[in-house]
Amino acid sequence: MLDQVSEVAIEEIDQMNFAITRQLLKVHTLEYEHGRPKIAKIELHPNLGRAIVHFQIKGERIFFTVFLDTEPKVKVVWTNITEGSRVIFKVTSETIHLDKISSLTKIPPTCSWDIGAPHPNGHGKHTFSLFGFEPTTEMAGDVESKINTLLDKLEQDREGIRKMSAMANSYIQIHWHGYYGNGMLGGFQLNKVTISRLANLQLAIDFDLYADGNPFE
């Protein structure tokens, strides 16, 4: 199914049957790998009979996306540019060392540093400790799903996360890249359930929003 979905999606790029495809690819260049458009992510939704294929746009953190039906046969139903995002749980402190913060939870960090550790660029040292956890690393895909995936992981150690929140600056950071081609950036929603889950873990939330891509001609 993955091969068939990707082939049909690439056919739309080659043939540009939809006007929106022609409009978007006129002002954006896709990345290519081994002579084919580079696929960033494929999402299969068998219960809905749908699939979504995200293609990497050169120099951007947004994606040219092909939406397909998979039943009764695989066919393209629409294309568009979709968001890119990162969702990261962070704990920082200017006074508490990393080993103390890490000892509060069973969850291992995916990125971290300690107070006084040298910067990777070799200039200066970190003035605060960081415990970071990012279970979904690809930029493609909707931000709401990434938030829910992160909360599912954090809720496996509610008590530890609450201890972190009480001791240090604990929050979820969202880097969100939207397309402003028609002058409207769009956005996303945090529903009541998500807000309640954040509150239950005693977490703040920080938004970094970016406008990417080229305007329509």
Stated pTM of the model: 0.92
48-103 pLDDT, tens digit per residue, is 999 999 999 999 999 999 999 999 999 999 999 999 999 999 999 999 999 999 99
Question: Please, what's the largest Cα pairwise distance for the chain?
Answer: 60
Which among 91, 33, 44, 96 is positioned nearest to 70, based on CA atoms? 44
CB 217 within 8 A of CB 26: yes
Domain boundary among 82, 110, 125: 82
Which phi and psi angles does 111 have, rounded to 5°? -150, 145
* Backbone phi and psi for residue 100, each to the nearest 5 degrees, phi listed first: -70, -45
- Report whether 151 contacts 198 (CB < 8 A): yes
Q: How many domains does the chain have?
A: 2
Q: Are residues 76 and 166 in the same domain?
A: no
The 10s digit of each residue's pLDDT in 145-157 is 999 999 999 999 9
* Same domain for 129 and 37: no
Q: Are 135 and 32 found together in one domain?
A: no
Domain boundary at 52, 82, 112, which?
82
In this structure, which amino acid lies at residue 205?
I
- Looking at 58, 82, 106, the residue that finishes a domain is 82
- Distance separating alpha carbons of residues 82 and 65, to the nearest angstrom: 6
Q: Which helix (H) or strand (E) holds 172?
A: strand 169-179
Categorize the per-residue pLDDT at 37 as very low, low, confident or very high, splitting at 50, 70 and 90: very high
Whether 32 and 102 map to the same domain: the answer is: no
Residue 77 structural domain = 2-82
- Kindly state whether residues 64 and 110 are assigned to the same domain: no
Q: How confident is the model at residue 180 (pLDDT cuts 50, 70, 90)?
A: confident
One domain for residues 205 and 126: yes
